[in-house]
Chains A and B, each alone.
Chain A
Amino acid sequence: DVKVTQSSRYLVKRTGEKVFLECVQDMDHENMFWYRQDPGLGLRLIYFSYDVKMKEKGDIPEGYSVSREKKERFSLILESASTNQTSMYLCASSIRTGVFETQYFGPGTRLLVL
């Protein structure tokens, strides 16, 4: 079974703090993704990575950065948290086949920025 884990289920931070969200997968997947999910807006892709040290912007990268130093770990960084970054953050991973790439999701981190 694919396992994607996220460092925290719930997190409360203050405006202006630097926030790190960690994601680890144990299936040797090349691709990793960060999404945020908000009511009425569905899932929106923030960043993804297709290899170590590689990253690509998704649809809403502003205010976020990412780091992928090891294949199994993908970190999302909020440089200076703001209240509009209160959301559910979901990490996913997939193997790269070039044909179809089923994404497997972690349990999510619910972030509240005060």
Chain B
Amino acid sequence: DAKTTQPTSMDCAEGRAANLPCNHSTISGNEYVYWYRQIHSQGPQYIIHGLKNNETNEMASLIITEDRKSSTLILPHATLRDTAVYYCIVITSGTYKYIFGTGTRLKVLA
């Protein structure tokens, strides 16, 4: 399974865009990039996923580099409720196996 590397923690001012990077330099062609977040004492919440194209939904945007070795999750207007641990994980197509690392602890500051 491809491994991911994320910064341990980040701060972001409320109302500003939060850009969370993820490195997955060993990703292979049939592996998807998924992002989840976990607010304190709750279960992980699905945010977005992508294969090679950029993706956007009501929660966030996902930018994947052309070589697919890294990606960035963008929360366009961070709010205090976005304070959470954000996990970037790589999933092989057709597999159930999710490997969550330690993620990035995002703190949105008032």
Q: Which A positions have Cβ atoms within 8 angstroms of B?
A: 4, 31, 33, 40, 42-43, 45, 48, 50, 88, 90-92, 94, 98-108, 110
Contacting pair B46 A102 (CB below 8 A): yes
- SS of B interface (majority): loop
Inter-chain contacts of B41 with A (CB < 8 A): 88, 108, 110
Q: Which 3 A-B pairs have the closest CB atoms?
A: A105-B43, A43-B100, A42-B100
Partner of B96, one of A42, A43, A94: A94
Complex alpha-carbon distance, A45 and B95, angstroms: 13
Interface size of B by Cβ–Cβ distance < 8 Å? 21
User: Is the C-beta of B99 less than 8 angstroms from some C-beta in chain A?
Assistant: yes
Contacting pair B99 A105 (CB below 8 A): no
Inter-chain contacts of B101 with A (CB < 8 A): 42
Complex alpha-carbon distance, A90 and B34, angstroms: 18
Complex alpha-carbon distance, A45 and B46, angstroms: 17
Contacting pair B49 A100 (CB below 8 A): yes
Give the Cβ gap from A3 to chain B, nearest Cβ, in Å. Answer: 12
